[in-house]
Amino acid sequence: MGDKMKAVVMRGPNDFGVEMVDIPKPKRNEVLVKIGAVAICGSDPKLFKGDYMGINWPPYFPFIPGHEFAGEVVELGEGVTDLKVGDRVAGEAHCGCGVCENCRRGLYNLCLNYGKVEAGHRHYGFTYQGAYAQYNAYNVRALTKMPDNVSFDEGSMVDTGGTALQAIRLNGITPGGFSLVIGPGPIGLFVMMIAKAMGSKTIVVGRRERLQFAKKLGADYIVDYEKCDDIVAEVRKITGGLGVDEAFECAGTQNAMLQTVRCTKKNGKVAIVSLPSQDEYNLPIKTMVMNQITVHGSRANPNCSKDVLALISENRINAKDLITHTFSIDDIHKALDTFVNRIDGAMKVVIHP
């Protein structure tokens, strides 16, 4: 290993490419990870475009994005006892400061020192250097050892799968009941697969190839919103008139938010899992009150990686088939184009640095 590596370096909005940069040195409680696979997240193309400059993603240039990764530990920083060289690990984006009230409660996705590098907080790929590179140094708290039968490609799905699992934990799942997913993108499909593994009958609302993808991965019912005048009536029909026990909004649209609440049965639960592009949307408050419906906002994936890896390792969910395309790091522009424009039915696109 020399001291330089390839990385996708962002120099400004819409200005990025592969460059040779220094390999980072692992500091105390960090390890150097040789990145085996890094998946493109729905937020990455927006970040590259500069859409998140208003919330300081990234906070400086030059910057290396990327946060859905798996790889191999190749060097240990000082004080590392739980990992060794050669360990295969899956990563997550959020690493809390470890000492604030929320971190102490395990809610490191809501760290009160968010963005404060000096306090130890890292949001890899957003506020701190990320994984579109051959190597990156990570705090051990952001890494989870992978079972031997889980590949790096599958490991790069753990951040997305964890985001689905966190929403499921907030809502709960009723075994033998019904769950609804609106928006069969990668997170929605993981929600569907995990809910099904937990004994729920699953209904997925979407359209075209992505809806067929949901069917292929095991959705019990699919509803095409382009061919259905009344989604709420259709979902009520499937559920014997009552509505679903739990609903998951994974589309980020106004319609989807209204429909998730209206499709949910009395005393049911709704999770908004998408990252909406604006702050204000309408919700059917009267329905929420009269039907006593709980709506959760769900952010990221705290404490989910180990369980998602177990679900993948034991074949209870299928992470592999979500990966439709792989590219070398040199083809980052083509990879992003394939992902954004859903070329050839692209679902998850993975980079091999």
- Nearest approach, Cβ of 112 to Zn ion (angstroms)? 5
Q: Vertex 13, ends 3 and 65: CA angle to 5°? A: 40
The stretch near Zn ion (CB under 5 A) out of 15-23, 88-96, 142-150, 267-275 is 88-96
> Is there a contact between 38 and 353 (Cβ–Cβ < 8 Å)?
yes
Rounded-to-5 percentages of helix, strand, coil across the chain: 30, 30, 40
Applying CB under 5 A, the site for Zn ion has a residue count of: 7
Query: Cβ of residue 84: shortest distance to Zn ion, in angstroms?
Result: 27
C-beta of 41 vs 272, nearer to Zn ion:
41
C-alpha span between 218 and 197 (Å, rounded): 10
* 100 near Zn ion (CB under 5 A): yes
- Please state the closest distance from residue 324 (CB atom) to Zn ion, in A: 17
Q: Considering beta carbons, is residue 96 or 177 the nearer one to Zn ion?
A: 96
Shortest distance (Å) from residue 194 CB to Zn ion: 17
Out of 65, 96, 188, 206, name the contact with Zn ion by CB under 5 A: 96
Helices 158-171 and 305-313, packing angle to 10 deg:
110
Distance CA 212, CA 24 (A): 43
Provide the minimum distance between the beta carbon of 270 and Zn ion in the complex, in angstroms, as a whole number. Answer: 22
Using CB under 5 A as the binding rule, the residues of this chain from 187 to 246 that contact Zn ion are none
Residue with smaller CB distance to Zn ion, 94 or 262? 94
User: Is residue 190 within a helix (H) or strand (E), and if so which, with residue range?
Assistant: helix 186-197
Closer CB to Zn ion, 94 or 196, in the complex: 94
User: Nearest residue to Zn ion, using CB?
Assistant: 41
Q: Is 158 in the site for Zn ion (CB under 5 A)?
A: no
CA angle 340, 249, 339 (to 5 degrees): 10
Q: Which is nearer to Zn ion, 220 or 307 (CB)?
A: 307
346 near 25, Cβ under 8 Å? no
What is the DSSP secondary-structure string of 19-55? EEEEPPPP-TTEEEEEEEEEEPPTHHHHHHHTTTGGG
Give the closest residue to 165 by CA, choosing from 193, 144, 124, 137: 193
Q: How far is the CB of 250 from Zn ion (least distance, A)?
A: 13
- Residue closer to Zn ion by CB (options 293, 312) is 312
Look at residues 57, 12, 121, 25 and name the one whose alpha carbon lies nearest to residue 275. 57
* x/- letters, 31..70, toward Zn ion (CB under 5 A): ----------x-----------------------------
Q: Using the 8-state DSSP alphabet, how is residue 156 labeled?
A: T
Residue 108: CB minimum distance to Zn ion, A? 6
Nearest to 37 by CA among 6, 64, 5, 71: 71
**Binding of residue 304 to Zn ion (CB under 5 A):** no
Three-state secondary-structure class, residue 256 = helix
* Position among 103, 180, 181, 194 found at the interface with Zn ion (CB under 5 A): 103
Residue choice 7, 38, 70, 111 for contact with Zn ion (CB under 5 A): 111
- State in angstroms the smallest separation of the CB of 86 from Zn ion: 27
Enumerate binding residues for Zn ion (CB under 5 A).
41, 96-97, 100, 103, 111, 113
